[in-house]
Amino acid sequence: MELRAVTGDITKLQVDAIVNAANTSLLGGGGVDGAIHRAAGPELLAECRTLHGCPTGQAKATGGYCLPARYVIHTVGPVWHGGGHGEAELLADCYRNSMALALELGCRTAAFPAISTGVYRYPPDQAARIAVDTVRRFLEEHPEGPQVTFVCFDARTEDLYQAQLAEL
Ligand code: ADP
C-alpha cells in the first residue's frame, strides 16, 4: 500500500486527482479551495456551477483544467463544533467517498489536503488520524485503489501525518 505525506502546495501535484476541501456551495472559497480555483482557471468554477452544491461528507468530481491533475474531487468537510456533532464520521465519509470516486474514475494516484483543519477548525492531530486510518482501510478493501499523497501545508502538519503513517 502506497501512502505518503509531504509538505507542499497541492495545486502543483502531478497526480490523477487532487481532492479539494470545498464548501457546500462548491462555488469557491478561501484556503485550499481558493488556491485550486486560482490555479485551475475560471472553467473550473463554470463546471462547479453545474453540480448544484454538495452535502457535507459527500464528494463530486470535475476536470482539472489548468492544473497538472486530471480531476478535482470536491468534498465538503465538517465544521468543528466540539466533536459531539458527528464530525469524525463526516470527516471519514469525505475520505472514503473521495477514494471511491477516484477509483471509479480510474485514478492511479490521488492527493488529499488536510480537510477541515483550516477555517473549519478540526483539531489537526485528530484529523490526521482519521485521514490515515480511513484511507488505509479503504485500500485494504480495494487494493486496486489509487496511491495516496497527503499534502500538508506546513511541516508541523506533516509531522502529525508521519506519526500516523509510522503506526501500523
Ligand atoms: P477547511 O475549510 O476544510 O478547513 P481550508 O482550506 O481552510 O479548508 O484548510 C484545509 C487545509 O488546507 C489547511 O490545513 C490549510 O493549511 C491547507 N491548505 C491551504 N492551502 C493549501 C494548498 N495550496 N495546498 C495544500 N494545503 C493547503
Domain extents in the chain? 3-166
Closest among 54, 131, 67 to 99, alpha carbons compared: 131
The residue to mutate among 27, 75, 95, 153, having the most atoms of ligand 1 within 8 angstroms of its beta carbon, is 153
Q: What is the pLDDT of residue 150?
A: 98
Distance between CA 53 and CA 29 in Å, rounded?
13
Q: What is the pLDDT of residue 2?
A: 79
- Domain 3-166 top-level CATH class: alpha beta
Q: What is the pLDDT of residue 44?
A: 98
- List active site positions: 33
pTM of the predicted model, to two decimals?
A: 0.98
Query: What residue's CA is closest to ligand 1, atom 5?
Result: 118
What ligand 1 atom has the least distance to the C-alpha of 77? 3
Distance in Å, CA 117 to ligand 1 centroid: 7
**120-157: burial string, b at 16+ Cβ within 10 Å, e else:** bebebebbbbbbbebbbebbeeeeebbbbbbbbbeeeb
Query: What residue's CA is closest to ligand 1, atom 9?
Result: 118
Distance in Å, CA 73 to ligand 1 centroid: 14
Q: What is the pLDDT along the chain (168 residues), one digit of tens a residue?
A: 679 999 999 999 999 999 999 999 999 899 999 999 999 999 999 999 999 999 999 999 999 999 999 999 999 999 999 999 999 999 999 999 999 999 999 999 999 999 999 999 999 999 999 999 999 999 999 999 999 999 999 999 999 999 999 997
Q: CB within 6 Å of ligand 1 — which residues?
A: 9-11, 21, 31-33, 35, 77, 113-120, 151, 153, 157
Closest among 75, 95, 89, 90 to 32, alpha carbons compared: 75
Q: What is the pLDDT of residue 168?
A: 74
User: Cell triple for residue 55?
Assistant: 452535502
Q: What is the pLDDT of residue 22?
A: 98
| Residue 14 backbone dihedrals phi, psi, to 5 degrees | -90, 80
